[in-house]
Amino acid sequence: MSIFTEQDSKSGKLEKTGKLTVKNATKIYDPLGVNVLAVDNCSLEINPGEFVAIVGPSGCGKTTLLNMVAGFDTMTKGEIHLDGKMIASPTTKLKPGPDRVVVFQHGALFEWKTLLDNVTFGPVMQGLMSKTDAEKKGMELLTLMGLEEFAKTFPLGVSSGMQRRVEIVRALMTNPKIILLDEPFRAMDTLTKTIVHQYVLKVQEITKTSIFFITHDLDEAIFLSDRVFVMTTRPGRFKTSVEIPLPRPRTTKIVSSKEFIELKNSLFDLVHDEAVKAFERGERELAR
Amino acid sequence: MSIFSKESKGNEKIRKDLESQLPQRVLDSMAENARKEASQKLRGRISMVVSLVVATGIWWLLAEYLLIHVPTPWETAYWSMAFLSDDWYYNSVLASMFRVYVGFGIGIVAGTFIGIMMGWNLRFRNWSFPAADLLRHVPPVSWVPLTIIVAGALTPAIVLIIFIGTFFSTALNSMLGVQLIDQSKFRAAKCLGASPVQIFRHVLLPGALPSVLYGMVLGMGLAWMSVVAGEMISGDYGIGYLAWQSYNLLRFPEIVLAMLTIGGLAYGSSEVVRYIVGKFLKWRDID
């Protein structure tokens, strides 16, 4: 595949990069003088090229963890390293960057730019590529995602499934070491979701980018990932992690396989317990 | 007429491919839809003409039978011929237009600048917003006495009140425009390695633009209201002054002519602003 050209080999893309290490990440929020422990002592490691999902009930601190990795949120305790370089700790300055690009829950395309201009935004802003080169690479990636016809369309003119695919392309354009997916498929209908999943798998197969994927949907977590972490309800801790040994490339057929169902059953109880706890606490908080 | 009339040119090939694959039945129904759309447009135009004719008719009936001092459409038209051959009318129109455009021009530049700063910088907003919000509620016309004292001459005074009206409407809308941009867009830009200056240029400005431009459209309406009020109160010439002076001179048809002129100019100016606005907001057309 010619998507990754000389530039990429210079920037070290062909070596295995994208090892994310989160050590004892802790986050205490302090709104109105009341300490809220949002993320409690979470540690995980994502190997280069690995697809890791974090599953947990709403409000459990998944997104907070992602925000700390992304550099949007300070840490109260702990350290985060990316390929051995410290990217976050309680004392480092917040600094989001193109080495770890986020794909957002509600989408964050620039509606005033065409899909192609959105996609070329990163490399052009950073001055890494000329506009023409960036557009060439962008068109290749858009084609891979089945979007080449819409390159000159504005985001509001395409469906949400397409928008999210464009966003993934936009993230890939800066050759990130890791992509952080913050429940990007949440608002999609099931059919659109399965299509976007296929594209995500395809792209990951080719680019071998590490992916840190947050979701509350167990099926998509198992379907896409190499490993799934289950997070407890607030304060968010890792309850367990499960390897997903399903063979790749994965197709939608796998969802009905015996292994898939067994994995789902074993994880379901764990996730369900937490969801019930979160729900009950919500009821209590409401009743108070 | 193309059945995908609103598609961009880039999609022409896809459209052709699509059309060639569709069964005749679907093509027929699409053509039918296109015909309906066209006839709807035509009907829209016809109803516009009808509406104007009916309004003129009502005016005529009222003026003829009920409000006998009000000039009828025919009287207005007849006397307008005379007024329209007089330089006074054209000078008045030009004077008012000059005041409006100068005041509006300065107002939108300053208003956009201050408004975007208010949206961008929290400290600046905290210091300036309460005062701006209070002053915004002072009707532009009530600034007239003060502006005359400050400006000394009349034209600068009227330009100043137009400036004030336009300034507040653009400033507050620009501020709102910045505040309404989804925070994740700023975060995304940071993730993609954009510098603060680039974020300002490529995210903040275009993101706030719809609201900024809306403020300008509102400002144009306010500008015409202000100019007429200002000229009526303290004018020496201008279209508002002409209307008032026509009353003093008992030239009633001329009052109506002046009113219609003001309406036409304000409508035309707003349409021009709206048209330019539309040019900048192509990305919002999603048909």
In a mutational test of the A interface, the residue from B9, B12, B13, B192 whose CB has the highest number of chain A CBs within 10 Å is B192
The per-residue pLDDT for A6 is 43
**Quick one: average pLDDT of A14-43?**
81
A227-231 and A238-243 as β-strands: parallel, antiparallel, unpaired?
antiparallel
The interface predicted TM-score of the complex, written ipTM, equals 0.85
Q: What's residue B12's pLDDT? A: 64
Q: Which pLDDT score is estimated for A283?
A: 65
Average pLDDT, integer, range B159-172: 90
pLDDT at residue A192, as a whole number: 84
CB–CB contact A125 B202 (8 Å): yes
Select the residue of B188, B193, B283 nearest A111 (Cβ to Cβ): B283
**Confidence label for B254 from pLDDT (cuts 50, 70 and 90):** confident
- Under 8 Å between Cβ of A158 and B20: no
Least confident of A83-87, B9-13, B24-28, B39-43: B9-13
pLDDT for B17: 66
Q: Which of B14, B193, B195 has the CB atom closest to A149's CB atom?
A: B14
pLDDT band at B14 (very low <50, low <70, confident <90, very high): low
What is the pLDDT at residue B253? 80
First-to-final CA distance of chain A = 59
User: If we measure between CA atoms, which residue out of A242, A248, A152, A153 comes closest to residue A200?
Assistant: A248
What integer pLDDT is reported at residue A109 of this predicted model? Answer: 93
pLDDT at A287: 61
Share of chain B above pLDDT 70, in %: 92
**Interface contact A108-B193, CB threshold 8 A:** no
Q: What is the pLDDT of residues B111-153, one digit of tens each?
A: 999 999 999 888 888 888 888 888 888 888 888 888 888 877 7
Of A110, A151, A170, the CB nearest to B203: A110
If you write DSSP's letter for every residue of B195-261 in order, what string do you get? Answer: -HHHHIIIIIHHHHHHHHHHHHHHHHHHHHHHHHHHHHHH-SSSHHHHHHHHHHTT-HHHHHHHHHH
| Nearest neighbour of B184 by CB, restricted to A106, A170, A171 | A106
Do residues A100 and A66 make contact, with C-beta atoms less than 8 angstroms apart?
Answer: no
- Name the amino acid, one letter, at B77: A
Q: What is the pLDDT of residue B13?
A: 65
State whether B191 and A111 contact (CB < 8 Å): no
CB B187 within 8 A of CB A96: yes
B186 → chain A, closest CA residue: A108
The answer to whether residue B8 scores a pLDDT higher than 50 is no
Q: CA angle at residue A168 from A171 to A156, to 5 degrees?
A: 110
**A157 lies within 8 A of chain B by CB:** yes
Amino acid, single-letter form, for residue B267? Y
Q: Is A94 on the interface with B (CB under 8 A)?
A: no
Give the pLDDT of residue A121: 93
> Are residues A11 and A177 in contact, defined by beta-carbon separation less than 8 angstroms?
no
Using the beta-carbon criterion (under 8 Å), do B187 and A122 form an inter-chain contact? no
* Record: contact B206-A106, CB cut-off 8 A: no
Q: Report, in angstroms and rounded to the nearest whole number, the Rg of chain B calculated over CA atoms.
A: 25
For all residues of chain B together, what is the average pLDDT? Answer: 84
Task: Give me the helix-helix angle, A131-144 and A115-126, nearest 10°.
Answer: 130
Virtual CA dihedral for A116, A118, A124, A126, nearest 10 degrees? -160
Indicate if the pLDDT at residue A157 is higher than 70: yes
Q: Which DSSP string corresponds to A247-283?
A: -SS--GGGGGSHHHHHHHHHHHHHHHHHHHHHHHHHH
Residue A265 has pLDDT above 60, yes or no: yes
Residue closest to A241 by CA, chosen among A230, A252, A250: A230
* Exposure string for A123-137, b = 16+ CB within 10 A, e = fewer: bbbbebbeeeebbeb
Q: How confident is the model at residue A225 (pLDDT cuts 50, 70, 90)?
A: very high
Q: What tokens does B264 get?
A: 């036409």
Mean pLDDT throughout A44-70?
88
Q: Specify whether the backbone of B193 is left (phi greater than 0), alpha (psi in -120 to 50) or beta.
A: left
Bridge partners of A213, per DSSP, are A53, A181
Residues B139/B141/B145/B150 CA torsion (nearest 10 deg): 80
Range 114-143 of A in CB contact (< 8 A) with B: 121-122, 125-126
Cα(B19)–Cα(B23) distance, rounded to whole angstroms?
A: 8
Work out the pLDDT band at B281, boundaries 50, 70, 90.
Answer: confident
- Residue A124's pLDDT band (boundaries 50, 70, 90)? very high
Choice between B199 and A89, residue whose per-residue pLDDT is larger: B199
Distance CA B155, CA B160 (A): 8
Q: Which has more pLDDT, B65 or B190?
A: B190
State whether the Cα torsion B244-B245-B251-B257 is positive or negative: negative
- B193 close contact with A: CB closer than 8 A: yes
pLDDT tens per residue, range A161-218: 889 889 999 998 988 999 999 988 887 888 888 888 888 888 888 888 999 999 988 8
Burial per residue of B225-259, b for 16 or more beta-carbon CB atoms within 10 angstroms, e otherwise: bbbbbbbbbbbebbbbbbbbbbeeeebbbbbbbbe
**What is residue B202's predicted lDDT score, i.e. its pLDDT?**
93
Measured between CB atoms, does A11 come within 8 Å of chain B? no
pLDDT surpasses 60 at A10: no
- pLDDT at position B112 is 92
Confidence band of B54 (pLDDT split at 50, 70, 90): very high
Name which of A100, A104, A157 is nearest B286 (Cβ-Cβ).
A157
Q: Which residues of B touch A151 (CB under 8 A)?
A: 10
Which of B17, B18, B184, B191 to probe the A interface (max A CBs under 10 A)? B191
Interface test with B, best of A66, A99, A121, A178 (most B CBs within 10 A): A121
Q: Does A160 touch chain B (CB under 8 A)?
A: no
Mean pLDDT of A70-94: 88
Q: Could you report the per-residue pLDDT of A134-150, keeping only the tens digit for each?
A: 999 999 989 888 888 89
Q: B residues 163-192 near A, CB within 8 Å?
A: 182, 184-185, 187-192
How many inter-chain contacts (A to B, CB under 8 Å) are there? 84
Nearest to B227 by CA among B213, B210, B244, B214: B244
Supply the pLDDT for residue B21.
67
B187: chain A residues, CB-CB within 8 Å: 70, 72, 96, 102, 104, 108
For A115, the closest chain B residue by CA position comes to: B283
CB of B65 within 8 Å of any CB in chain A? no
Of residues A256 and A59, more confidence is placed in A256
Give yes or no for A159 touching B (CB within 8 A): no
B47 Cβ partners below 8 Å, 6+ apart? none
- Which chain B residues are within 8 Å of A102, Cβ to Cβ? 187-188, 191
Assign B7 a pLDDT band (cuts: 50, 70, 90): very low
Please count the other Cβ atoms lying within 10 Å of the Cβ belonging to residue B15. 15
As a whole number of angstroms, the distance between CA B99 and CA B159 comes to 5
Q: What sign for the dihedral angle of Cα A214, A218, A220, A225?
A: positive
Residue A87 to residue A270: CA distance in whole angstroms: 31
Lowest mean pLDDT segment, chosen from A12-21, B14-23, B234-243 = B14-23
**Nearest-CA neighbor of B176 among B220, B211, B126?**
B211
Contact B141, B158 (CB under 8 A): no
pLDDT tens by residue, A96-121: 988 899 998 888 999 999 999 999 99
In chain B, the residue whose alpha carbon lies closest to the alpha carbon of A109 is B185
